Structure 1
């Protein structure tokens, strides 16, 4: 899916994006993630899209919708522990999305589902997710980096972009559902002053408290992380979101949930970029709670085209 800039937005009727910003952007996200079961066709669900500055469906949105549709066909005591998805075509925010779920396996401990997200009969996303019931076993995890500034001591994108007369800046400050805070500075207005490492740390949480259980919060984590997954590629190359001629789009997305998570609590994304080649860049992230618990690991490859 296209990345004109990190971007969630407003809720819409089934056939068209909304024109006005929502009073509660988080409620707008919850609205579009509430996928509707088809009354006549088993394992078919319907969804709509949030408005976007470029008119294309935000990848994190359709990924979260696909996961939630799959989760609606799984026993409630089995939660998603991994997903692997491919973004196949750009989605159009003006058109409804059909989500078809295929029941691949129902085992004693694990359940597997494949979801296709369709517009005009063509897949825009194909995803496989695995669900597992809670079980005992060996347990360990990497530790969160030491001496990370608290989120209260990091500038919010909402403050950084406030008052800037630009559609994307207005979008972020008025309609974004998540408060995003880059340790050491963001890439919205300019490049990293010390490029070359391709690493970043980002605090993020929803702007308002959220209801719901683990299936919803794990889907919202997939939604949220898609906003920042390719930013380490920009840092490594000394570019920003404002670079002339920049074109970025998510190609695939892999995610593993290790422990329970709430996206209305502060989460730290520790990010890197292992490689870029052939117009593609790979982003990786480990996600920690504020108290240092590792809750998820994420990887995403994207098309990254930069002017020479």
Structure 2
């Protein structure tokens, strides 16, 4: 379980992961390839393949059109020791919108299927919900490195030192202790550990990457379950995201999350991402498999 890339800059690793290679193949689809990031369990991080699928779709759309929504299904677990192939189908190019379908493959079978929509920058109606008030600022909260750094375990060390994003929980983290309040909601602050290039599409894809980090935690909080609960099994099933306004991901962003329901061994979580000034940047929804041994015997 040792990390073969230990000591490498996590931010440089993120940029390398999102810099896909165009194979030059042109049949009915556009083909790209990208590397997988090492993960302690050997499975590809869902946020990684999702962000890469977005970057592949972006490479086939006119520069004037920005991604505004995605809907994807995680079909199979990916192997973090193998690269990924991305096939993009140019489904539609209209007067204002473009639609793309990206399929991510390993060993000839799809591991993710995603639809993405792009739009010209058009004027129109504007409103948003307000950001929550009274949230503890990130400077007053411990970082994941401070919380997990002293723990001598490869997963804890990976989360503490090898992620490209800094994560700070507003509520008590549930890495090792469950939420005693059993409330199905939480908020985190997040930003990359260093500055990113100015490319807006890179920031949009990186935001999708980070949106998968903690989105299912409210499900665990609701049932008094910690990440280290014996036998806990979790996996993302689908992920939807809407970009409302642009924001840099190397500035602090507030990610407010809640789980409205769980049933059938699945939990649904929704999230809203705000800038520090209260601008609503994106909305997210994800359903995941959540299996707790004592409830599945």
The TM-score range, normalised by the shorter chain, is over 0.9
Native 8 Å contact 1:36 1:45 kept in 2: yes
Equivalent of 2:232, from 229, 240, 246?
Answer: 246
- The Cα offsets for residues 221-266 of structure 1, whole Å up to 9 and x where unpaired, read as 1100101010000000101101001000000000000000211010
Q: Secondary structure at 1:61's aligned position in 2?
A: helix
Matched, 1:98 2:85: yes
What does residue 48 of structure 2 align with? 61
d(CA) in 2 for partners of 1:122, 1:72: 22
> What does 1:75-90 align with in structure 2 at a 5 Å threshold?
75-90=62-77
What does residue 233 of structure 1 align with? 219
Q: Secondary structure at 2:16's aligned position in 1?
A: helix
Distance change >3 Å, CA 23–CA 97, structure 1 → 2? closer
What does residue 258 of structure 2 align with? 272
Matched, 1:168 2:138: no
d(CA) in 1 for partners of 2:52, 2:25: 20
Equivalent of 1:39, from 24, 27, 32?
Answer: 24
Matched, 1:210 2:199: no
Matched, 1:134 2:121: yes
Distance change >3 Å, CA 37–CA 22, structure 1 → 2? farther
**1:18 Cα deviation (Å)?**
6.9
Structure 1 regions of 5+ residues with no counterpart? 1-16
Q: Secondary structure at 1:135's aligned position in 2?
A: coil
d(CA) in 2 for partners of 1:235, 1:304: 12
What does residue 198 of structure 1 align with? 184
Native 8 Å contact 1:22 1:28 kept in 2: no
Distance change >3 Å, CA 96–CA 41, structure 1 → 2? farther
Aligned length: 291
Native 8 Å contact 1:198 1:236 kept in 2: yes
d(CA) in 2 for partners of 1:40, 1:80: 24
Stretches (4+) displaced over 2 A: 39-42
Structure 2 regions of 5+ residues with no counterpart? none
d(CA) in 2 for partners of 1:135, 1:175: 39
Native 8 Å contact 2:5 2:38 kept in 1: no
**1:20 Cα deviation (Å)?**
2.7
d(CA) in 1 for partners of 2:71, 2:285: 10
> What does 1:169-184 align with in structure 2 at a 5 Å threshold?
169-184=156-171
d(CA) in 2 for partners of 1:89, 1:281: 18
